[in-house]
Amino acid sequence: MTGPDISVVICVYTEDRWEDILAAVASVRAQSRPALETLLVVDHNRALLDRLAGHYRDPEASGGVRVLANAGPRGLSAGRNTGIAASRGEVIAFLDDDAVAERDWLRRFAEAYTDPEVLAVGGRTVPVWESGRRPAWFPEEFDWVVGCTYKGLPPGRVRVRNVLGGNASFRRTAFDAAGGFATGIGRDGDRRPLGCEETELCIRLSRARPDAVLLIDDRAVIHHRVPHARERFRYFRTRTWAEGLSKALVARSVGAAKGLESERRYTTRVLPAGVARGLRDALLAREGGAGRAGAIVAGVLTAAGGYAVGTVRARRGGTAFSAPAAGAADAAAGAPRLTAAGPGADGDAAGGGKSQEREEAADGRTTEAGEKAAGGTTAATDRTAAGGPRTGANEEAVGGRAVGGRSV
């Protein structure tokens, strides 16, 4: 087997997704290019931690599955940082807990890393609608709302500003150069559908390593389950609002020019074309045409409203996030550790260190003491520290330039 060893990190948080979690792990174990290990990082849920530790009691018999506790504050970003710190692979891949990977998923990632300048590779995420079909009103241009690849990205293997976190991989040296995922933005279970942590990290990485190449290969495919609740317009509206809030945080940190670089093309080219198609379909009496056109307009307006509110909050210092410093993945290995009580639990869960000061406040913001403990700074007060955001239009390819076409 040629190419780098790949560790797979799957962050989990609820027993409601038990069958999904098992399916995600099974898809990793069935890869044509085996993973070095699979790390299940449990986000502050003792019952789930113990249940998974019992299920994957023997890492050797389970195909290298290890169960860890999130050693940082609650949320997806800290869970990923825990997985990074505990992993042993040269490349760390991330898979959503409600997704399954196609058989060649890791092989496609490994092929891209034959170029030493490639520091991150993402793939294509296909929605699996729980209702059995896409809602007629739901525009493909907004599939990022449900964590999937959206209409408007160029096909093949292309260079991008950032990858989509639920189907992505990074060289370990990327975290050494830029630090880990920022806490204070991103998912916290089902509490707040924020995102953009991948965007912020990738922009920070590109600034730390101007020669870095970040790619998406649409042959690295996963299938992501979309539950009924996320097929509704109410969720669509909530998620687009949250995307605007998240984008404001990122733009405040890295500057609007870079933070909104891809979104400008998306809103000026991709979305108007989508509205035109919807109106054409409506005129031709095709199902959902008017609804799709209306949803695109509503999505843009809602995201813009969230961005405006988020910008005001950020300027007032009311919202902040912190990012682990460069090299934090190695430093985190010496942090206080959380272990599962159940048999077979891995005692080396590390990453970020858990302290009372670092816990997130009830409103989802990182406390001031927490940022100091994490070695980070607020986005509102120190833009350079951030590298001087399941995402949305932020995965737009930079110029749509193909890198090596579809050949490997």
Residues 8-27, mean pLDDT to the nearest whole number: 97
Residues 6+ apart with CB under 8 A from 25: 10, 38, 40, 56, 65
Closest Cα partner for 140 from 382, 306, 129?
129
Q: Angle at CA 202, nearest 5°, toward 84 and 75?
A: 50
Inter-residue contact 395 to 163 (CB < 8 Å): yes
| DSSP character at residue 157 | E
Radius of gyration for the alpha carbons in the chain, expressed in angstroms and rounded: 20
Amino acid sitting at position 233: F
Closest Cα partner for 383 from 260, 262, 249?
249
Inter-residue contact 394 to 162 (CB < 8 Å): yes
Element (H, E) at 128: strand 118-129
Closest Cα partner for 198 from 132, 122, 124?
122
Torsion of CA 353, 28, 5, 126, to 10 degrees: -90
Helices (H), 12-59: 18-29, 46-55
Inter-residue contact 260 to 325 (CB < 8 Å): no
Closest Cα partner for 320 from 185, 221, 122, 187?
185
Rounded Cα distance between 113 and 129, Å, is 32
Per residue in 302-341, pLDDT (tens digit) is 999 999 998 888 787 755 566 666 654 444 433 333 333 3
Q: Mean pLDDT across the chain, nearest whole number? A: 79
What pLDDT does 349 receive? 33
Inter-residue contact 83 to 63 (CB < 8 Å): no
Per residue in 193-211, pLDDT (tens digit) is 566 788 889 999 999 999 9
Could you tell me the CA-to-CA distances from 42 to 10, 39, 96 in Å, in that order? 9, 10, 13
Residues 6+ apart with CB under 8 A from 32: 103, 104, 106, 107
**Lowest-confidence pick of 186-190, 269-273, 327-331:** 327-331
Q: What are phi and psi of 295, to 5 degrees?
A: -65, -40
Neighbours of 54 (CB within 10 A): 15
Please check the confidence at residue 242 and state whether its pLDDT lies above 60. Answer: yes
What pLDDT does 384 receive? 33
**Lowest-confidence pick of 68-77, 183-192, 292-301:** 183-192
Please check the confidence at residue 408 and state whether its pLDDT lies above 80. Answer: no
Please check the confidence at residue 189 and state whether its pLDDT lies above 60. Answer: no
Inter-residue contact 100 to 17 (CB < 8 Å): no
pLDDT band for position 249 (cuts 50, 70, 90): confident
